[in-house]
Amino acid sequence: MEPVLQIQGLKTRFATKRGMLTAVDGVSLHVDQGETLGIVGESGCGKSVTALSILQLLPKPLAHIAEGKILFNGQDLVKAKESVIRDIRGNQISMIFQEPMTSLNPVFTVGYQIMEPLKQHRGMKKAQARQEAVQLLELVGIPEPTARIDDYPHQLSGGMRQRVMIAMALACHPAVMIADEPTTALDVTIQAQILELMKKLQQEIGMAILLITHDLGVVAETCHRVMVMYAGKIVESADVGELFTRPAHPYTKGLFDSLPKRGHIGALPTIPGAVPSLLHLPPGCAFQDRCTYADKQCSQVPPWQEVHAKHGVRCWHPLEEGI
Amino acid sequence: MTLGYISRRLFHLVLIMFGVSVLVFLMLRMIPGDPAQLLLGEFANPEELESLRAQLGLNQSLLTQYWIYLRNIIQGDLGNSLRSNAPVAGEIWVRLIATLELSLAAMFIATVVGVAAGVLSAVKQRSFLDYASMFLALVGVSMPIFWLGLMLIYLFSVKYPILPMMGRITLGLEVPEMTGLMVVDSLLAGNGQAFLSAVKHLLLPSFTLATIPMAIVARITRSSMLEVMSKDYVRTARAKGMAESVVVLRHALRNAFLPVVTVLGLNLGLLLGGAVLTETIFSWPGLGRYVVDSLAGRDYAAVQGCILVFAALMAAINLAVDLMYVFLDPRLRVDE
Amino acid sequence: MSRWEALKDLRQSVSAMVGLVLILLIVVVAIMGPWIAPADPLIPSPLIRLQGPSVEHLFGTDSLGRDIFSRVIYGARISLMIGVISVTISLIPGTLLGLLAGYFGKRIDSIIMRCMDMLLAFPAILLAIFITAILEPNLTNTMVAVGIVYIPHYARIVRAGVLSLKEQLFVQAIVHLGGSHGRILFKHILPNCLPPIIVYATLGMGTAVLQAAALGFLGLGAQPPSPEWGAMLSEGRQYIQLAPHVAAFPGAAILILVLGFNLFGDGLRDVLDPSLRSQ
């Protein structure tokens, strides 16, 4: 079966004061219907830029897509006209963001903001859209939706606002939902509720989810497949179970090692060094300066290799042993 | 809660007006010479002087004098004009409407043109359009409007005589007064010719008066729009598939408008002060020109009345701006 | 102090440099006045009244036959003097009041600021008109009036600066170490409040020139035969139909000087007061 969303060799560049910077460097991925794909990485690795590239929501005129294809049901969004993309945004592909506090417009009621895409994409009249909005609020588990619909964002808690964002994203029954750190700004208990909600809704609607996060815990909870990103490139890709038991890239392993484990006492190991500036990347593997396994070979660009079935890694010295 | 806020503001307003009255009272007493003589002019006869002295309590303490003065103001008695001998309050009222018409027209021009220029500049940041309109805005802020007014008169009334250079309406076209606003009255009277004349008379003075506020609005709108356009909720609106015009004009501008309103409120003094100059240049029979004429005629009763009214006007509009703020920003509407 | 080093960035600011050039142009004209003016600004020549611009009279002549070019040149001195003196008159009391209000707070603060509110309750030009009218209309009183009107603006800016500084650790530390109020105010707080004051004073020069010219135009400022630009405009107004050049040139001079101060002030603000930086 054809994947709903497919990215091929995407390169997204930013014009900065100190030169052109490649934030996303040749990323390829695909998401199937009903599947959740996670993209994991530290901040600045290009995962959010990848997400924004899909719907071309990049900050203009600083950023642009330099190369690559973004195929949605076979149609290349990079080449599509603005009006075509606009019809897809919030309709067939929708997006939720990290900051529920600032992602809703403070001067409009939440109802109005949910009704907007309904009117825009599904041609609903006001009364009908309002009814639908109430149902959506109910669907995402907001109590007393008929009362809340006339609330302004500042009257709701962070968790409630993120539920509103999800309701908005679901309004037109999208084929793909892109969630950029949807739970990062929330309390742990609220976090679990929101993830649970997303999982439940995915099963009901059958949409694909592209989940961007820095949190491996979130990945374990929700994703079917994971891709690990570092300095603009995908460095490892595998099914969740596979990646969690047999991480092959030293960077991935480093991420796992820095997670707290049951029974662990004392300081957690961290990955030494810091993410290199995208303007001054070392030749070859971008992780070499922080990697304990690095040698001379690592200053050559590492190839992409399949270490196991459906488990790829971009490294000269993939790890063999499991955890 | 909002009611509490309004009443606190009203109290503040009363306090300020009280202070203003003290200030004006003291200033008038500071002018060397006998206040009664001052108010009645040098040719007043002795009986009149004596009766006004008694009326103002000039032989009593300053406090008593102020009390009498305050009581008169509160009763709407601002004294009689030296030049016409009519009550100042009535004279002011007629002129206030004329000033209102001019200021409203100027405010309208300033907001519409200023916001449009600011939004365009922000959307087309760093384009020629942006640089050109921001340079023009800076020139506008620096404009001696009394000079601009004269130049406009020369251009549009003398060189190419298409617009009248003074007054509110062509003689003989006067319409019955309903609101006092010439443009509205002529419309109400259904007199197209009068309406056209009123609008033509309004064009040059209101544009002159609008220049500085327009420039300020353009600058603030631009910087405010630039800030708002980078906000997360604007990205959300785009991600929902809203048309760019909806994103800019509805989602961004509604938020960007808040600082614009504040700045408009803060610069109200500029608009009212500008009215003094504009009315003088275009012989607009408003309050500003009345002040200047009264000063020239040493008509102090009229002058003090005008100053009080101007201050009250400023305070009232400031209050209105505050309330508008609450209307525009739901976060300021506190729930019960 | 890194904020002063930021002044170097001024050279990169196009608007600041253009503004500086305009200001310097007028300053040079003001200083060199007697040497570059082709004629006496005050002596009438009834035979050449209201002549348009020509080679002998670049800006033409006015209703008394005086050379407008020379009068505009002499007017530069007056306008610059108005700017400097008026701003000083508002700056010094305004700064002191703002320091006192912000530093001592409580009752002193509310008394001072309520008084400032009262001055702000009038449209600026109207208050200036009123003050000059009471004092008697002339150039000196114009400067005094314009100065008084803008005192509250400086008081507000300085007070805001003091309030934010007072919270900072170093000031609190000095207070605990037993520094005297005067020392703390003038040695530690005032220098840190300077950048916004400088920015505002620069912009204020433009405003003062504009307001004083407006008073002159209304006949309440400098009196004839003074070549003050506003007063010249007032004269030119009567001849706007016959000889528009009489009003055109002094007005353009006002615009250029005010534009200069505003351009330079904007540039200074971007450099000295990053919180207000326009994008």
pLDDT by residue (tens digit) across C183-226? Answer: 888 888 888 888 889 999 999 999 999 999 999 999 988 998 99
For residues B147 and B208, give the distance between their C-alpha atoms in angstroms, rounded to a whole number.
Answer: 9
Q: What CATH number is associated with residue A168?
A: 3.40.50.300
Q: How far is C127 from chain B (nearest CA, A)?
A: 8
**DSSP letter for each residue of C36-56:** H-SS-SS---GGGTTPPP-SS
pLDDT by residue (tens digit) across A181-193? Answer: 888 888 888 888 8
According to the model, what pLDDT value does residue C186 have? 84
Q: Touching check for B23 and chain C: CB below 8 Å? A: yes
* Beta pairing class for A225-230 and A36-40: parallel
Is residue A282, in this structure, part of any structural domain at all?
yes
Strand positions, DSSP E, chain C: none
What's the rounded mean pLDDT across residues C264-279? Answer: 72
Is residue A323, in this structure, part of any structural domain at all?
no
Q: What angle do CA B279, B281, B286 make, to 5 degrees?
A: 15
Cα A8 to chain centroid distance, Å, stands at 16
Q: In which domain, by residue range, is A47 found?
A: 5-223
What's the rounded mean pLDDT across residues B227-233? Answer: 92
Whether a cis peptide bond, with omega within 30° of 0, leads into A61 is: yes
Place of tokens 């300085």: C158
Neighbours of chain A (3+ CB pairs under 8 A): B
Q: Which of A73-77, B138-142, B171-175 has the lowest mean pLDDT?
A: B171-175
Is residue A320, in this structure, part of any structural domain at all?
no
- The verdict on A210 and A276 lying in the same domain is no
According to the model, what pLDDT value does residue C248 have? 94
Residue B336 has pLDDT above 50, yes or no: no
Closest alpha carbon within chain C to B267 = C123
Query: Which one-letter DSSP state was computed for residue B80?
Result: B
Q: Touching check for B132 and chain C: CB below 8 Å? A: no
Two tokens, residue B5: 């806020």
What's the rounded mean pLDDT across residues C20-36? Answer: 94
Q: Touching check for C134 and chain B: CB below 8 Å? A: yes
Contact A205, A170 (CB under 8 A): yes
Nearest to A91 among B230, B232, B241 (CB): B241
**Mean pLDDT for chain B overall:** 88
Nearest to C217 among B146, B268, B274 (CB): B146
Is residue A319, in this structure, part of any structural domain at all?
no
- Name which residue leads in pLDDT, A267 or B211: B211
H/E stretch holding C121 reads none
pLDDT by residue (tens digit) across B286-335? Answer: 999 999 888 888 788 888 889 889 988 888 888 888 888 888 888 877 64
Residue C165 has pLDDT above 70, yes or no: yes
pLDDT by residue (tens digit) across A171-181? Answer: 999 999 999 98
Q: Touching check for C124 and chain B: CB below 8 Å? A: yes
Residue C276 banded pLDDT, cuts 50, 70, 90: low
Q: Do B31 and C244 touch (CB under 8 A)?
A: no
Q: Touching check for C240 and chain B: CB below 8 Å? A: yes
Residue A305 has pLDDT above 50, yes or no: yes
- The verdict on A15 and A102 lying in the same domain is yes
Q: What per-residue string of b and e applies to B17-39 under the rule 16 or more CB within 10 Å gives b?
A: bebbbebbbebbeeeeeebbebb
- The verdict on A171 and A251 lying in the same domain is no
According to the model, what pLDDT value does residue C239 have? 92
Residue B237 has pLDDT above 90, yes or no: yes
Q: Do C129 and B292 touch (CB under 8 A)?
A: yes
Q: How far is C180 from chain B (nearest CA, A)?
A: 34
Question: Which residues sit opposite C66 in a β-bridge?
Answer: none
Contact A214, A40 (CB under 8 A): yes
- Name which residue leads in pLDDT, B124 or C272: B124
Contact A178, A95 (CB under 8 A): yes
pLDDT by residue (tens digit) across C87-146? Answer: 999 999 999 999 999 888 889 999 999 889 888 888 888 889 888 888 888 999 999 999
- The verdict on A241 and A207 lying in the same domain is no
Closest alpha carbon within chain A to B255 = A107
Is residue A154, in this structure, part of any structural domain at all?
yes
- The verdict on A58 and A205 lying in the same domain is yes
What percent of chain C has a predicted confidence (pLDDT) above 70? 95
Residue C1 has pLDDT above 60, yes or no: no
H/E stretch holding A64 reads strand A63-72
Q: Do B142 and C206 touch (CB under 8 A)?
A: yes
- The verdict on A32 and A133 lying in the same domain is yes
Closest alpha carbon within chain C to B269 = C123
Residue C265 has pLDDT above 70, yes or no: yes
Two tokens, residue C196: 């916004």
Report the candidate in C197, C122, C133 with the shortest Cα–Cα distance to residue C162.
C197
- The verdict on A209 and A306 lying in the same domain is no
- The verdict on A60 and A134 lying in the same domain is yes
Give the global pTM. Answer: 0.89
According to the model, what pLDDT value does residue C193 have? 84
Residue A69 has pLDDT above 60, yes or no: yes
ipTM value for the complex = 0.91
Among A167, A196, A223, which residue terminates a domain? A223
State whether the Cα torsion A123-A124-A130-A136 is positive or negative: negative
What's the rounded mean pLDDT across residues A230-248? Answer: 92
The number of domains in chain A is: 2
Q: Do B233 and A102 touch (CB under 8 A)?
A: yes
H/E stretch holding C204 reads helix C190-217
Residue A266 has pLDDT above 80, yes or no: no
- The verdict on A117 and A247 lying in the same domain is no
Is residue A17, in this structure, part of any structural domain at all?
yes
What percent of chain B has a predicted confidence (pLDDT) above 70? 99
According to the model, what pLDDT value does residue C274 have? 61
- The verdict on A197 and A239 lying in the same domain is no
pLDDT by residue (tens digit) across C145-164? Answer: 999 999 999 999 999 888 88
Is residue A204, in this structure, part of any structural domain at all?
yes
pLDDT by residue (tens digit) across A22-31? Answer: 999 999 999 9
Residue C279 has pLDDT above 60, yes or no: no
What's the rounded mean pLDDT across residues B183-210? Answer: 92
Contact A28, A8 (CB under 8 A): yes
Nearest to B239 among A94, A99, A108 (CB): A94
- The verdict on A214 and A237 lying in the same domain is no
Is residue A132, in this structure, part of any structural domain at all?
yes
* Beta pairing class for A75-76 and A63-72: antiparallel
Question: Which residues sit opposite A22 in a β-bridge?
Answer: A13
Q: How far is B142 from chain C (nearest CA, A)?
A: 5
What's the rounded mean pLDDT across residues B176-199? Answer: 89
Closest alpha carbon within chain B to A178 = B239
Contact B73, B308 (CB under 8 A): yes
**Structural domains in chain B, sorted by start:** 3-74 (no CATH), 88-332 (1.10.3720.10)
Query: Which one-letter DSSP state was computed for residue A308?
Result: E
* Residue A267 neighbours by CB distance under 10 Å: 6
- The verdict on A246 and A204 lying in the same domain is no
Please report residues of C whose CB lies closer than 8 A to that of B92: none
Terminal-to-terminal C-alpha distance of chain A: 34
